[in-house]
Structure 1
Amino acid sequence: MTSSTPRRTVLAAALAAAGTAATAAPAAAATAAVPDPSAAPGRAPEPGLVDNRFWSSYTDWRCGSAAGARAVAGLRPGLVLDSPAGRTDYTDPHTGRTSAWEYASWTSPVHTPTVPATEVIASWNAHTPPGTWIQVELSGTYSDTTATPWYVLGRWASGDGDILRTSVDDQTDGRSTVWTDTFAIDDAASGLRLASYRLRLTLYRTPGSGLTPTVWRLGAMASDIPDRFTVPATAPGPAHELAVPRYSQNTHVGQYPEYDNGGEAWCSPTSSQMIVEYWGRGPSAEELAWVNPAFDDPQVCHAARFTYDHQYQGCGNWPFSAAYAATYPDLTAVVTRLRSLTELESLVRVGIPAITSQSFLKEELTGAGYGTAGHLMTVIGFTPEGDVIANDPASPDNEAVRRVYDRREWENIWLRTKRYDANGKVRGGTGGVCYLYWPARPTSGQRGVLRSLGLA
């Protein structure tokens, strides 16, 4: 069930589809290499590991530096292309087509995260009508006061008629690298960190059209998660379960192989579609007209097409997944990290499910029935015993999607940053990466939890 297309490096924890059966790793090495610090349940999450900074208010947009872009007020403030700052040609690397574009830009104020970072992942929420697209870049200052170059974190449009959305490979200065969607320090053990950063947003439109993208939210998660094979155990909170639609990626095996080899690799778009529909949104019949009418759940095919990264050759680009969700009316979406299962429980209690990224051997997650180098699933609740209730798209059919996974096993495979593969080699883990989608106007309870995580 894994995709054969190129994958990002282990450092960025590739989002290959789940389902490749894993042979057993050397058990003694996996259990004895690193002491397990989890003997004290209920420990608070470690402070200072994750910093979130997002620009989304009218004041935020006015505080940046604009060249031809303008802030607009309203119930959902945003940034638009007002008067072009220039004109440029762009040759799409995936079609070879060269087109002229007018552009404007906005650069954020310098942000100094509470944690000097080894990794940064940006995300954005935008509307790009046909004839428009956007580019997001990052530049920063290292802890030794030297500067990074400007790195492209994504060239994005909600559709695929003007440009093909894409990440950009081969971006490095020998000290940091962009791995598909993740800025990362090359040698974290050296002590080098990213001390501050700016984001630059460029808005493009067809010359003379008067069109504009609208960007409602732009920001990033910066983190310095220590290397760890195990994480502290947490005590269970109250039981709670959300009524989230269930979709299996495996019912789409062989469909539209041009998008990451087909449904067997669609864990990310399938998970995103479940949460989009949980919030009462989804594509219209007109938007689904391109899908073969013989296919069940055509909205999953739609999500795969419109999250596909043509450079990565997959549907697992984290920011592109969040950006897809935010194309639906009044949905906010971010990519972040959580520090503990307790934080995830707090979100579920106020009605916000999470799409989590994890990798594991078959024997490391009881009942999964597969091992994976990287997989997305949707956490929808917790049992009275504290076990994790997940809608796992790596299931044979929709009815089988709801799973209950052992709390301690699931907590560890999600939050660790190091693991052993089937051959006993050390590989990376995602360290708590997740996508969060919620209404643009959340309830007071939801706002309180989001604020506690630096997201509202």
Structure 2
Amino acid sequence: MRRLTPASLEGPRRGARIVAPRLTPAPVPVTAVADVTYGRPVRPLLRTSRNSLATLLTCALGVTLAVSSVPAAQAGQSAQAARKKAETTQVRHTSFDLAADFARGSRSGAVVSGDAVRLRYPKATRKLGTTTYDVGTWTSPWVDEKFAFTELIPSWQAKTPGRSLVEVQVRLRTKSGTRTTTGSWDTVARWTKDNTFFKRTSLAAQGDDLARVAVDTVKANSSAGATGWQVKVVLMRRKGAPARPQVTRVGAMTSKVVARTTTSKPGKVVGTVIDVPRYSQMTHRGHHPEWGNGGEAWCSPTSTAMVLEHYGANPAAGHAFKSGHADAVVDWTAMQTYDHGYRGTGNWAFNAAHAGSHLRRTYVTRLADLRAAEPFIKAGTPLIVSVAFAKGGLRGAPISSTAGHLMVLVGFTAKGDVVVNDPAASSNAGVRRTYDRAQFEKAWLTKSGGLTYVYED
């Protein structure tokens, strides 16, 4: 059950109020976060709603008006607007998750069944290692962006029963005048929920033409970026087996990140704190060397475990994973998110895919600033965010510095400072922290560009 508690119970900052999630979509904030779908607006998902994920989410850092309030033609004609656009981070998120969305793609050996693509009549086989698999594919239509992006992060939700898996491939293209250059397909991941028969893994760089793969991120080889992309899902099962793997959502976030130099002003969600259970990654130091050895390496699965526990979505098997061990669900989540290619639990897409096996909607994106996070907090949706900071860069943090660390954003104090569950604390009791708004926003936006896991129930 989702619970909201007063900030007076959550740390040194007091005076927050309880705000229950409303049963109507939250409005688009005036920090230029606009959700534009194929004709349908999308807001943070509430538990009583079912919104399509064929979403194009656009956000530009530093803009002060909602995108929908500025005519596109006017913006395109303004040289000043063009310069401003080049100086701000641009993000666009596209997902396919309804039957109508999947119908827009092409298929081979797969069918659209309900709001999913399933392996049904495989027409090809393929060998991985010593195992031969039946194969079907679904390929998205081309998605052309209105800006040149330098990074793309795919995410997906899938079911892989029995001896089956899904492979996610991406290719980019560039357009310049009448000339179009199309890159080769790069494999980002081979993923399965159960590691018994196949070890989920990311792949090597494959940096042969327009792009290269860096674990969970596709990076354009040219600083000029790319203008369009496609995603392909390869559905595989052991040859002759009855398993029917399926994908219920697949998409990608494209971005061009520019460092932010200003701090957003608090909005109307100040004083709202979501009561998310607290787990420390450090109490698991030395656990399971085969999955990263716990401790400092487990910030991502620990954060994922906290949010799933908040929704009551961690299964009994996770809690019973290690008999007699406190918070065994953290160890279990590390196993479920471990990337055998990267050799770690911090693969962003793998964490979202694991959560997506237990929740309605999960994806990886970037947000413009803390104002862009407010609709999620208002809707009762905690966010997992990636931060990096030098020594002294985040006062009150349990670690002095980090090149990359994940924590759960759970709300705001009455003054607009940030309330988090920081798994780097030495014990569960110290996980709830309050950080200065300006310092936190700098730590979140400067390196990761506002990287965020969104898990919605």
- Give the 3-state SS of the residue equivalent to 1:109 in structure 2: coil
Instruction: Look up the equivalent residue of 1:86 and give its one-letter code.
Output: A
User: What TM-score do you get using the length of structure 1 for normalisation?
Assistant: 0.78
Residue 8 of structure 1 is matched in structure 2 by none
Residue 154 of structure 1 is matched in structure 2 by 189
- Report deviation, 1:147: 1.6
Distance 1:85 1:263, change over 3 A: farther
- Give the 3-state SS of the residue equivalent to 1:302 in structure 2: helix
Distance 1:115 1:218, change over 3 A: same
Contact 2:154–2:250, Cα closer than 8 Å, also in 1: yes
Instruction: Look up the equivalent residue of 1:265 and give its one-letter code.
Output: A
| Structure 1 residue 67 corresponds to structure 2 residue 108 | yes
The runs of 5 or more residues in structure 2 that have no matched partner are 1-61, 67-84
- Report deviation, 1:294: 3.2
Q: Which of 86, 89, 95 is the matching residue for 1:54?
A: 95
| Structure 1 residue 103 corresponds to structure 2 residue 135 | yes
Once the two structures are superposed, residues 259-307 of structure 1 have per-residue CA deviations (whole angstroms, 9 ceiling, x without a partner) of 112233100000001111111211223x555x33232101100100010
- Give the 3-state SS of the residue equivalent to 1:320 in structure 2: helix
Contact 2:165–2:236, Cα closer than 8 Å, also in 1: yes
Task: Give, in whole Å, the separation in 2 of the partners of 1:288 and 1:382.
Answer: 30
Once the two structures are superposed, residues 396-423 of structure 1 have per-residue CA deviations (whole angstroms, 9 ceiling, x without a partner) of 111110000000000011111xxxxxxx
Contact 1:362–1:369, Cα closer than 8 Å, also in 2: no
Residue 30 of structure 2 is matched in structure 1 by none
Task: Give, in whole Å, the separation in 1 of the partners of 2:89 and 2:392.
Answer: 32
- Report deviation, 1:219: 0.1
Q: Which of 83, 101, 105 is the matching residue for 2:121?
A: 83
- Give the 3-state SS of the residue equivalent to 1:115 in structure 2: strand
Task: Give, in whole Å, the separation in 1 of the partners of 2:185 and 2:63.
Answer: 42
Instruction: Look up the equivalent residue of 2:367 and give its one-letter code.
Output: L
- Report deviation, 1:48: 7.2
- Give the 3-state SS of the residue equivalent to 2:235 in structure 1: strand
Task: Give, in whole Å, the separation in 1 of the partners of 2:324 and 2:184.
Answer: 49
Residue 451 of structure 2 is matched in structure 1 by 433
Q: Which of 332, 339, 349 is the matching residue for 2:368?
A: 339
Q: Which of 303, 327, 331 is the matching residue for 1:301?
A: 331
Task: Give, in whole Å, the separation in 2 of the partners of 1:288 and 1:246.
Answer: 14
Residue 313 of structure 1 is matched in structure 2 by 343
Q: How does 1:273-422 map to 2 (within 5 A)?
A: 273-285=305-317, 289=320, 291-328=321-358, 330-370=359-399, 371-416=401-446
Instruction: Look up the equivalent residue of 1:254 and give its one-letter code.
Output: G
Instruction: Look up the equivalent residue of 1:342 and give its one-letter code.
Output: R
Identity of aligned residues (%): 37
Task: Give, in whole Å, the separation in 2 of the partners of 1:174 and 1:56.
Answer: 30
Contact 1:353–1:379, Cα closer than 8 Å, also in 2: yes
Instruction: Look up the equivalent residue of 2:127 and give its one-letter code.
Output: D
Contact 1:51–1:114, Cα closer than 8 Å, also in 2: no
Q: How does 1:195-210 map to 2 (within 5 A)?
A: 195-210=227-242
Q: How does 1:220-231 map to 2 (within 5 A)?
A: 220-226=252-258, 228=259, 230-231=260-261
The runs of 5 or more residues in structure 1 that have no matched partner are 1-40, 92-97, 417-428, 440-456
Contact 2:146–2:227, Cα closer than 8 Å, also in 1: no
Contact 1:42–1:234, Cα closer than 8 Å, also in 2: no
Moved more, 79-88 or 171-180: 171-180
- Give the 3-state SS of the residue equivalent to 1:116 in structure 2: strand
Once the two structures are superposed, residues 113-132 of structure 1 have per-residue CA deviations (whole angstroms, 9 ceiling, x without a partner) of 23321100000011111211
Q: How does 1:101-250 map to 2 (within 5 A)?
A: 101-144=133-176, 145-173=180-208, 175-188=210-223, 192-226=224-258, 228=259, 230-237=260-267, 238=269, 239-250=271-282
- Report deviation, 1:352: 1.1
Contact 2:281–2:294, Cα closer than 8 Å, also in 1: no
- Give the 3-state SS of the residue equivalent to 2:316 in structure 1: coil
Once the two structures are superposed, residues 406-450 of structure 1 have per-residue CA deviations (whole angstroms, 9 ceiling, x without a partner) of 00000011111xxxxxxxxxxxx11110100002xxxxxxxxxxx
Task: Give, in whole Å, the separation in 1 of the partners of 2:391 and 2:123.
Answer: 54
Where has structure 1 moved over 6 Å in runs of 4 or more? 45-48
- Report deviation, 1:361: 1.4
The alignment's C-alpha RMSD in Å is: 1.7
Higher-RCO chain (CA-CA 8 Å, sequence separation at least 6): 1
Task: Give, in whole Å, the separation in 1 of the partners of 2:123 and 2:209.
Answer: 32
Contact 1:42–1:235, Cα closer than 8 Å, also in 2: no
Task: Give, in whole Å, the separation in 2 of the partners of 1:185 and 1:325.
Answer: 28
User: What TM-score do you get using the length of structure 2 for normalisation?
Assistant: 0.78
Instruction: Look up the equivalent residue of 2:117 and give its one-letter code.
Output: L
- Report deviation, 1:63: 1.2
Once the two structures are superposed, residues 370-401 of structure 1 have per-residue CA deviations (whole angstroms, 9 ceiling, x without a partner) of 21111000000000111000000000111110
Task: Give, in whole Å, the separation in 2 of the partners of 1:248 and 1:104.
Answer: 41
Instruction: Look up the equivalent residue of 1:433 and give its one-letter code.
Output: L
- Give the 3-state SS of the residue equivalent to 1:306 in structure 2: helix
- Report deviation, 1:175: 4.4
Instruction: Look up the equivalent residue of 1:268 and give its one-letter code.
Output: S
Task: Give, in whole Å, the separation in 2 of the partners of 1:42 and 1:167.
Answer: 35
Task: Give, in whole Å, the separation in 2 of the partners of 1:43 and 1:109.
Answer: 33
